[in-house]
Structure 1
Amino acid sequence: MAFQVKTSILSNSDGSAELIIGGTKVLVSISGPIEPKIRQELPNQASLDIIIRPYKGLSTTREKLLEDKLRQLLQSIIIRYKYPRQLIQIVVQFLIIDEIEEFTCNELNAAINCCYFALIDADLALYSSFVSVVACINSGNLLLNPPGDILINSDSHHVICYNIENQKANKLLFLESDGEFTEETLFTILAKTVSEAETLHQEQRKIIQAKIENDYIWK
C-alpha cells in the first residue's frame, strides 16, 4: 500500500505533513526546537510534547493512550541530546478514519508514518528512518494494512514499526498487539512485515527525493 503525502503544507510550523494511507488521513505539525515551560525543561535533552486530536469531538483517554504510545516510539528515534533544554511539540490531527472507537491500530500506524515525513520536513536529527505496518489475522489468513471493516472481524491485529538502515528493516522499534494469537503466529507476522516495511521505505525515499529536488535544486 503506497503513501499519499504532502509536506510543508502549514506555513506557521517548523515542519508539517499530510498523509493518506488506506482509509485514514492524518495531518502532523511540528514546532521546535522551541523554548519550553519550566516544568517541561530537561537539562541534557529535548522534551517531547505530543498532542493527538480526534477527527471529531474532544480528546479522551483514547487519544491520551495514543499519545503515550507515540511518545514511547519517538523518544527512541529523535536525537534529543542535540537540543538540550528545548521543546519539540508534535500535534497529530486525524481528518478521516476508517475504524470504530474500539480500534486504534490504523490511526496509530498513520500517525507514526506521517510523523516521519513531518520530522524530515522540520529538519530534526533522527537516529534512523522508520516505517510502520499494520497486520491482522482474519480467519487464519494474514492481511497487511487491513481496512476497518476487516479489523472488526479479525482474530488479532498488530502495529509494527521498524527502523531502516541501509534500506533494510533490521530492528523492531515498536510492537502493539491485541487479540488472540500464538507465539508462532507472531513470529510469522514479523517475518512477513519486514518485506512490506522495506517496500514502504522505498516509497518514503521517492517522496523525500522529490521533496529535496523541489525545495533545493535549481532554486
Structure 2
Amino acid sequence: MASSTLSPLSRADGSAQYSFNGYSVLCAVNGPMEAQRRDELPEEAVVDVAIIPATGIAGVTSKHLESIVQKALRQIVLVAAHARSLIQITLQIIATPESDHQPARLHQSFSSIAVLPALLQASILALLSTSIPLCMFTNLTSVAVGANGDVALDPSVEEVDAATSLHVIGFSSQGDLLIAESEGSFNIATWEQVSDIAGTVCWGDLTRDNGLQVSKFWKHELNCESTLRTKISQWYSKSTG
C-alpha cells in the first residue's frame, strides 16, 4: 500500500515523503534559485539531484540513481520556465524492505534500481509542494523475471534476489516511454514481454492482465491525487478561515 505526505519539512521550499513496497523516501526541493555562472544554462533551469542512501555514504550506486532520476525529471519539469536558475532536489532513502534473513536498512539486494519508483514519485510530489510547474506526470512499475520465466509485479526482496532480471519501466501521462532500466540477464523476447506487462499495468486495459493480477493499476497516481486533494483542502480551509 502506497502512502505519501506533502510538506513534512519546514526548512525546504517544498518536500514530500513517499512509501511503497517497503521503500520510504524523503525528498526536499529548493529553488528555483540563482545558479552559479559556470553551471547555468541560458534557456532552461539546471536540475540537480542528490541521493543519500539509507546506510553508509553515497557511492557509485547513488551516482547511478542520481543520473537516472535527473534525466527523467528534466523531461518532467518545465525547465524552460526558469532559465539560468537552479532547482535542487535532495532525496533521502529512509527505509528499505526487510528480507527473511536481514532486517530493513541492512539488506542489500543485487538490484540498485528497485527503489526508482519511490524516488521518482517522492520527487514529483515535492516539486508540486514547491509549486514548480511540470509538463507531465509519470507512472512506474517494477517487474522481476524468475529463472523459470515467472513474472512478479512490484517484487518483494526475496523475489528480486531470486530473479534473473529486474526491470523498472515508466510511462509519461501522454503514454510515452519515459524510463526503461534493467538489470540481470535477459533477452529481447523477455524485455518485450516485460514492456507489454508494464504498459498494461501503467496505462492499459484492466481486463487484459497478461495472466497477472493487475490490482495495483494506477497505484501511484491514485495515492498522489488523494494526497494533493487533502493538502489543497487544508490550504483552502486555512485561507478562508
TM-score of the superposition, structure 2-length normalised? 0.83
Pick one of 124, 127, 130 that aligns with 2:135. 127
Residue 204 of structure 1 and its aligned partner are, at CA, apart by 2.4
- For 2:120 and 2:145, how far apart are their aligned partners in 1? 21
Pick one of 135, 152, 158 that aligns with 2:161. 152
Pick one of 187, 194, 199 that aligns with 1:189. 194
Q: Look up the SS of the partner of 1:131 in the other structure.
A: strand
Q: Which residue of 2 aligns with 1:7?
A: 6
- For 1:122 and 1:14, how far apart are their aligned partners in 2? 6
- Aligned pair count reads 214
Q: Look up the SS of the partner of 1:72 in the other structure.
A: helix
Unaligned runs of 5+ in 2: 98-106, 204-217
- For 1:125 and 1:38, how far apart are their aligned partners in 2? 23
User: Which deviates further from its counterpart, 205-214 or 149-158?
Assistant: 205-214
Q: Which amino acid aligns with 2:140?
A: S
For 1:165-176, what aligned pairs fall within 5 Å after superposition? 165=174, 170-176=175-181
Q: Which residue of 1 aligns with 2:170?
A: 161
Q: Which amino acid aligns with 1:60?
A: G
Q: Which residue of 1 aligns with 2:126?
A: 118
For 1:4-153, what aligned pairs fall within 5 Å after superposition? 4-98=3-97, 100=108, 102-138=110-146, 139-153=148-162
CA RMSD of aligned residues (A): 1.6
* Residues 130-187 of structure 1 deviation map (CA, whole Å, 9 limit, x = unaligned): 122111112321111112221111011001111114xxxx111010011222322222
TM-score of the superposition, structure 1-length normalised? 0.91
Q: Look up the SS of the partner of 2:176 in the other structure.
A: strand
* Larger Rg over CA atoms: 2
User: Does the aligned pair in 2 maintain the 1:16–1:118 contact within 8 Å?
Assistant: yes
